[in-house]
Structure 1
Amino acid sequence: MSNQNLLNRSLQSVWHPCTQMKQHEAYPLIPIQRGEGVWLYDVAGNQYLDAVSSWWVNLFGHNNPRIKDAIKQQLDTLEHVMLAGFTHEPVVALSEKLAQLTGLGHAFYASDGASATEIALKMSFHYWRNSGKSNKTKFISLQNSYHGETLGALGVTDVAIFKDTYAPLLMQSAQMPSPDFRLAEAGESAESFALRCAEQLEHYVSQHHHELAAFIIEPLVQCAAGMGMYHPVYLRRAREICQQYQVHLIADEIAVGFGRTGTLFACEQTNVRPDFICLSKGITGGYLPLSVVLTTDEVYAAFYDDSVAKGFLHSHSYTGNPLACSAALATLAIFETENVLEKNRAKAAYLTTKMQAFTHLPIEHLRYQGMITAFDVKSESVHFSRDCYAAALKNGLLIRPIGNTVYFMPPYTISESEIDFMLDAALKSVQLAI
Structure 2
Amino acid sequence: MTATPPTDALLAFDREHVWHPYTSMTDPTPVRMVTGAAGVRLCLDDGSELIDAMSSWWAAIHGYGHPAMEAAVRSVDFAHVMFGGLTHAPAIRLAQRLVEITPADLERVFLADSGSVSVEVALKMALQWQRGGGRPERTRMLTVRGGYHGDTFGAMSVCDPDGGMHTMWSGVLAQQVFAPRPPGPGGDVQAWADDFAAVAAEHAHELAAIIVEPVLQGAGGMWIYDDACLRVMREVADEHGLLLIFDEIATGFGRTGTLFAGEAADVVPDIMCLGKALTGGYLSLAAVVCTDRVARGISGSESGVLMHGPTFMGNALACTVALASLDLLVAHDWSAQVAGLHAGLVGGLAPCHDLPGVADVRTIGGVGVVQLDHDVDVVAATEAAASYGVWLRPFRDLVYTMPPYVCTEQDVARICGAVAAAVEVA
TM-score class normalised by the smaller sequence = over 0.9
Q: Which runs of structure 2 are paired with 1:25-424 in the superposition (5 Å)?
A: 27-74=29-76, 77-102=77-102, 103=104, 104-158=106-160, 160=162, 162-181=165-184, 190-304=185-299, 309-362=303-356, 363-379=358-374, 382=375, 384-424=377-417
Q: Which runs of 5+ in 1 are unaligned?
A: 182-189
Q: 1:86 to 1:172 in 2, by over 3 A?
A: same
Q: 1: distance between equivalents of 2:212 and 2:137?
A: 22
Q: 1: distance between equivalents of 2:127 and 2:231?
A: 23
Shift of 1:390: 2.9
For residue 353 of structure 1, what is the amino acid of its counterpart? G
Q: Which runs of 5+ in 2 are unaligned?
A: none
Deviations 1:143-175 (A, max 9, x none): 121111111111111154532222232110011
Q: 1: distance between equivalents of 2:169 and 2:299?
A: 35
Shift of 1:241: 1.2
Q: 1:159 to 1:361 in 2, by over 3 A?
A: farther
Classify the secondary structure of the residue corresponding to 1:21. coil
Shift of 1:432: 2.5
Structure 1 consecutive aligned stretches of length 4 or more whose deviation exceeds 4 Å = none
Classify the secondary structure of the residue corresponding to 1:175. strand
Matched, 1:2 2:14: no
For the 8 Å contact 2:276–2:286, the answer to whether it is kept is yes
**What is the TM-score when the length of structure 2 is the normalising length?**
0.94
For residue 341 of structure 1, what is the amino acid of its counterpart? S
C-alpha RMSD of matched pairs (Å): 1.7
Q: 1:92 to 1:308 in 2, by over 3 A?
A: farther
For the 8 Å contact 2:341–2:365, the answer to whether it is kept is no
For residue 109 of structure 1, what is the amino acid of its counterpart? L
**What is the TM-score when the length of structure 1 is the normalising length?**
0.92
Q: 2: distance between equivalents of 1:406 and 1:33?
A: 25
Classify the secondary structure of the residue corresponding to 2:219. helix
Q: 2: distance between equivalents of 1:288 and 1:353?
A: 33
Q: 2: distance between equivalents of 1:164 and 1:359?
A: 31
| Count of aligned positions | 418
Classify the secondary structure of the residue corresponding to 2:259. coil
Match of 1:15 in 2: 19
The structure with the largest helix share of the pair is 1
Shift of 1:71: 1.6
For the 8 Å contact 1:388–1:430, the answer to whether it is kept is yes
Shift of 1:191: 3.3
Classify the secondary structure of the residue corresponding to 1:40. strand
Q: 2: distance between equivalents of 1:359 and 1:17?
A: 30
For the 8 Å contact 2:142–2:200, the answer to whether it is kept is no
Match of 1:430 in 2: 423
Deviations 1:108-146 (A, max 9, x none): 111111101100001100111111111111111111211
Deviations 1:366-415 (A, max 9, x none): 11110011121235xx5533421232223322112222211110100100
For the 8 Å contact 1:385–1:404, the answer to whether it is kept is no
For the 8 Å contact 1:198–1:237, the answer to whether it is kept is yes
Q: 2: distance between equivalents of 1:22 and 1:414?
A: 37
For the 8 Å contact 2:123–2:154, the answer to whether it is kept is yes
